[in-house]
Amino acid sequence: MLEIKNVYKTFNAGTVNEKVALNGLNLTLEDGDFCTVIGGNGAGKSTMLNAVAGVWPVDMGKIMIDGKDVTRLSEHQRAKYIGRVFQDPMMGTAATMGIDENLALAARRGSSRTLRSGITKKEHEEYYELLKTLDLGLEERMTSKVGLLSGGQRQAVTLLMATLKKPQLLLLDEHTAALDPKTAAKVLALSDKIVHENHLTTLMITHNMKDAIKYGNRLIMMYEGHIIYDVRGEEKASLQVKDLLARFEQVSDSEFANDRMLLS
C-alpha cells in the first residue's frame, strides 16, 4: 500500500544547522498494516510522515501509495489518498468553523470543490449519527465552533475527519501526546477501533512504548533517519518494553537510556 524507497531529506543543507533527517529510508506497508513508529527525538519519525504527506519535496528517493508514484505531487494533491491527525490538536481542525462544517470539508477531500452547497441537509443527518458514535455528546452541538472544544474532543473530531472519506493511508503523528493520560487512552482506543473497522493502512508515531506494542500488527524503530528494527505479527505481539530498550541500547550505545522514550 505504501512504499518508501531510499528517501533522503536534509534540512538547512550547507549551513551550520544542517540536519540529515531522512537517511536512505526504506519502508513497505502491506494493505491493512497498522504500524506503530518509535524512536528518539530527531530520529526522523515526524519527518517520515511529512515526507509521505508531501509537506515539502524530498531530496531523493521515491514514495508510492497504492502503486501510484506520488513523489512529485504537492501536499493537497496527495490529500486524496491520505488522512492525517497531527500532534497539536489545534492543527487538524478549523477553529472558527462549526463541527459540521469541518466534517463537510473533510468529506470533500480528494474531490474537486465546486459551487455546490458546502454542506447539505443529508450530510447533517449523517454527521449527527457519526458524532453519536464518539459518545462525547458532540452531536447535540454540531454547529458549535470547533475552537470551543477541548483538545481531546478536537482530536476525536480530527480522527473522524481523517477517516470520513476512507483514506488509502492514515498518518497519526503522536496524536495523543498533547492530551492528558486518560483522554489520550480514550482517543487511542477510538483510533484503534476506527482503523480496524475500516481496515485502514496506518502509520502511528508514539512516544509510549507500551502503546507501540499494544496497538497494531507491526512496529518499526527509527534511528538517525532510517529504520533499525522492524517487527510484526506473532513476534511483535510477544514483545516486551524491556526488549525494545535492549534493542535501543544495542544500536545506539545506550544513548536512548536517557531519552524520554523511557517515560513509559
Partner 1 sequence: MDFFTSLLNSMPGAAAQGLIWGIMAIGVYITYRILDVADLTVDGSLATGGAVCVVLTLNGVPAWLAVLAAVLAGLLAGLVTGLLHTACGIPAILAGILTQLALYSVNLRIMGYGTGGGKANLPVSVDKYQLVVSSRHVRTLGLKNPIFVLVIICIALVALLYWFFGTEIGCAIRATGANRNMSRAQGINTNVTTVLGLMISNGLVALAGALLSQYQGFSDINMGRGAIVIGLAAVIIGEVIFAKVFRNFALKLTAAIIGAIIYYVVIQFVLRLGLSTDDLKLLTALVVALFLTVPYWKGKYFTRPTVKKGGNNNA
Residues that bind partner 1 (CB under 8 A): 53, 74-77, 79-80, 82, 84, 86, 90-97, 101, 104-106, 108-111, 113-119, 136-137, 150-153, 156, 161, 179-183, 186-187
**Least CB distance to partner 1 at residue 136 (A):** 6
The CB-of-228 to partner 1 minimum distance in angstroms stands at 29
Residues forming beta bridges with residue 231, ordered by sequence position = 219
Nearer to partner 1, 91 or 130 (CB): 91
Partners of 82 in the β-ladder: 169
Angstrom distances, CA of residue 100 to CA of 114, 129, 169: 18, 12, 23
* CA pair distance 246, 264, nearest whole angstrom: 15
With a CB cutoff of 8 Å and minimum separation 6, the contacts of 17 are 11
Instruction: Find the length of the chain.
Output: 264
* CA distance linking residue 7 with residue 227, whole number of Å: 12
Beta carbon nearer to partner 1, 111 or 258: 111
Nearer to partner 1 by C-beta: 53 or 219? 53
CA–chain centroid gap for 61, Å, is: 21
Q: How far is the CB of 11 from partner 1 (least distance, A)?
A: 18
Half-sphere exposure of 245 (CA within 13 A, CB side): 14
CB-wise, 44 or 92, nearer to partner 1? 92
Q: How far is the CB of 116 from partner 1 (least distance, A)?
A: 6
Q: Between residues 161 and 231, which has the closer beta carbon with respect to partner 1? A: 161
CB of 231 to partner 1, least distance (A): 30
Q: C-beta of 107: minimal distance to partner 1 in Å?
A: 9
Helix (H, G, I), strand (E, B) or coil at 177: coil
Give the H/E segment covering residue 100.
helix 99-107
**Residue with Cβ nearer partner 1 (88 or 259):** 88
